Amino acid sequence: MTSTPSTLSRPTTLGALKASGYVSRSIRDEIRANLEQRLRDGEPIAAGVIGYEDTVLPQIETALLAGHDIILLGERGQAKTRVIRALTQLLDEWIPVVENSPVRDDPFNPISVFAKDLIAEHGDDTPVAWVHRDQRFAEKLASPDTSMADLIGEIDPIKVAGGLFLDDPRALSYGLVPKSNRGIFAINELPDLSERIQVGLLNVLEERDVQIRGHLVRLDLDVLVVATANPEDYTNRGRLITPLKDRFGSQIRTHYPHDVATELAIIKQEATLPLKDREIDVPWFIDDIVARISHVARQSLAISQKSGVSVRLSIANYETVIASAWRRALRTHDATITPRISDLAASVQSTQGKIEFDTLYDNDANEVIAAMVSLAVRQTFMEYVILPDAGAIVEAFEGEAIVHVGDDLPDAEYLNVLASMPELASAARGLFVDEPAPGALASAAEFILEGLYLTKRLAKDASGARALYRTRNR
Q: Of 428, 466, 432, 429, give the one whose Cα is nearest residue 448.
A: 428
- CB 71 within 8 Å of CB 251: yes
Angle at the Cα of 227 (from 207 to 104), degrees rounded to 5?
Answer: 60
CA dist 413 → 189, 321, 363, 403, 446 (Å): 52, 20, 36, 10, 11
Q: How far apart are the first and last CA of the chain?
A: 73
Residue 231 pLDDT exceeds 80: yes
pTM: 0.87
In the chain, the percentage of residues whose pLDDT exceeds 90 is: 58
What does the DSSP 8-state code read for residue 145? T
Residue 426 pLDDT exceeds 90: yes
What does the DSSP 8-state code read for residue 106? B
Residue 316 pLDDT exceeds 80: yes
Residue 216 pLDDT exceeds 80: no
- Domains identified in the chain and CATH numbers: 14-253 (3.40.50.300), 260-470 (no CATH)
CA distance 140 to 209: 20
Phi, psi of 310, deg, nearest 5: -65, 150
450 or 305, which is more confident: 450
Residue 4 pLDDT exceeds 60: no
Residue 193 pLDDT exceeds 60: yes
Q: How confident is the model at residue 166 (pLDDT cuts 50, 70, 90)?
A: low
Q: Of 385, 367, 406, give the one whose Cα is nearest residue 457.
A: 385
Of 6-10, 148-152, 370-374, minimum mean pLDDT range: 6-10
Phi, psi of 269, deg, nearest 5: -75, -35
Question: Residue 175: its pLDDT value, please?
Answer: 86
Bridging pattern class, strands 223-229 and 183-188: parallel
What are 81-99's pLDDT values in tens digits? 999 999 999 999 999 999 9
Of 233-247, 277-291, 343-357, minimum mean pLDDT range: 233-247
Transcribe 416-431 into DSSP letters.
HHHHH-HHHHHHHHTT
Neighbour count for residue 184 (Cβ, 10 Å): 22
CA distance 61 to 87: 10
CA dist 347 → 13, 358, 405, 471 (Å): 60, 20, 18, 28
Tell me what the mean pLDDT of segment 297-304 comes to. Answer: 90
What are the b/e assignments for 266-295, b being 16+ CB within 10 Å? bbeebbeeeeeeeebbbbebbbbbbbbbbb
Residues forming beta bridges with residue 73, ordered by sequence position: 229, 253
Q: Of 379, 403, 387, give the one whose Cα is nearest residue 293.
A: 379
Question: Residue 363: its pLDDT value, please?
Answer: 64
Question: Residue 276: its pLDDT value, please?
Answer: 67
Q: What's the distance, CA 234 to chain centroid? A: 20
